[in-house]
Amino acid sequence: MRYFLIGFFASFWCSAQLSINTIKLSSEVEETSGLEYIGDNLLTINDSGDKARVYVFTPKGHLIKNIRFYDLKNKDWEDIAADKEHYYIADIGNNFATRENLKIYILSKDLIPQGTIKIKYEAQKTFSKESRNEYDAEALTVVGDDLVLFSKNRKTLKSQIYFFPKTEGSYSLTPTAVIDTKALVTAADYSSEEDLMVLTGYDFKGIQYFFTLKNFKKNGMENIDLKRYSIPVKPAQIEGVKIINQNEFWITSESESDGNPSLFKLNLELE
């Protein structure tokens, strides 16, 4: 596993042609907290308010089915990632930095559980309740042979980037880089074809953001190109993102003005 010099990178506002189409989702996914493809459809999960289930719905928002896992537990599921062989469900929600059982479930593409990855933060020495902490995370994606985790840092509003193997085992995480998102990061997705990493997040005022990190592997951790865009939806809690292409993206929100979850198709003309 490669390690890079830890660096701090300032995010900045960008102007762009941005438009959003809104599609209502079933109330069954009222706490949608991750987004992936499953064939031509989309796959999501709820967080700690639900049993261990995944939900399949169409790009038009029609719920097809849900699948219950009786041998898995949903302590606080926060994201779902995928590669060609597996899905990875991140049971990593840690709002108050008290959890000592953070894990990622490995599932086959047929949604059959195949193992568990256990993680801990190397720098965390105590587990007493702390509301403003740096040991929570909600954003997981796959980059090559690694899983990449972005922290939801309530202490600094920066985000640590952690790399670790996507194979079963126990790993102690140290950050590879730190980015100045000025927001709480809630979701991540990476496209190897575009070498594009995208994130979502929000600040303490409830403003929702979309982030791009172009040439993520090419630039390396020393030269991260972070750009931030405000998403014109409010109230909302965006916690799922999926790349369609370099200009189009799916995002999901737990709630909108009428209290229902929503699927948004975001169109962004990148520089």
pLDDT digits (tens, 9 = 90+) for 191-237: 999 999 999 999 999 999 999 999 999 999 999 999 999 998 888 89
- Tokens 């089915």 belong to 65
Peptide bond into 235 cis (omega under 30): yes
Q: pLDDT tens digit string along 98-134?
A: 999 999 999 999 999 999 999 999 999 999 999 999 9
Q: How confident is the model at residue 85 (pLDDT cuts 50, 70, 90)?
A: very high
Task: Give the CATH number of domain 8-268.
Answer: 2.120.10
Token pair recorded at residue 77 = 């599921």
Q: Is 80 exceeded by the pLDDT of residue 94?
A: yes
User: Average pLDDT of 156-174?
Assistant: 98
Q: Is 80 exceeded by the pLDDT of residue 251?
A: yes
Burial label for 128, CB within 10 Å (0-12, 13-18, 19+), is exposed
Q: Is 50 exceeded by the pLDDT of residue 10?
A: no
Q: Is 70 exceeded by the pLDDT of residue 159?
A: yes
Q: What is the overall mean pLDDT for the chain?
A: 92
Q: Is 70 exceeded by the pLDDT of residue 5?
A: no
Interatomic CA distance for residues 200 and 230, integer angstroms:
10
Alpha carbon separation from 125 to 95, 96, 98, 100, 119 (Å, rounded): 16, 14, 11, 11, 14
Token pair recorded at residue 138 = 């909600």
One-letter identity of residue 99: R
Q: Is 80 exceeded by the pLDDT of residue 1?
A: no
> What confidence score (pLDDT) does residue 9 get?
44
Q: pLDDT tens digit string along 254-263?
A: 976 567 899 9
Q: Is 60 exceeded by the pLDDT of residue 12?
A: no
Give the predicted TM-score (pTM) of the model: 0.94
Determine contact, residues 148/161, Cβ cutoff 8 Å.
yes
More confident residue, 10 or 64: 64
Query: What are the structural domain ranges in the chain?
Result: 8-268
Report strand pairing: 113-121 vs 169-173. parallel
User: Average pLDDT of 44-51?
Assistant: 93
Alpha carbon separation from 75 to 53, 58, 117, 135, 244 (Å, rounded): 12, 27, 15, 16, 30
| Number of CB atoms found within 10 A of residue 63's CB | 15
Q: Is 90 exceeded by the pLDDT of residue 41?
A: yes
Determine contact, residues 163/188, Cβ cutoff 8 Å.
no
- Tokens 């926060």 belong to 78
Output the 3-class SS for the chain.
CCCCCCCEEECCECCCCEEEEEEECCHHHCCEEEEEEECCEEEEEECCCCCCEEEEECCCCCEEEEEECCCCCCCCEEEEEECCCEEEEEECCCCCCCCCCCEEEEEECCCCEEEEEEEEECCCCCCCCCCCCCCCEEEEEEECCEEEEEECCCCCCCEEEEEEECCCEEEEECCCEEEECCCEEEEEEEECCCCEEEEEEECCCCCEEEEEEECHHHHCHHHCCEEEEEECCCCCCEEEEEECCCCEEEEEECCCCCCCCEEEEEEECCC
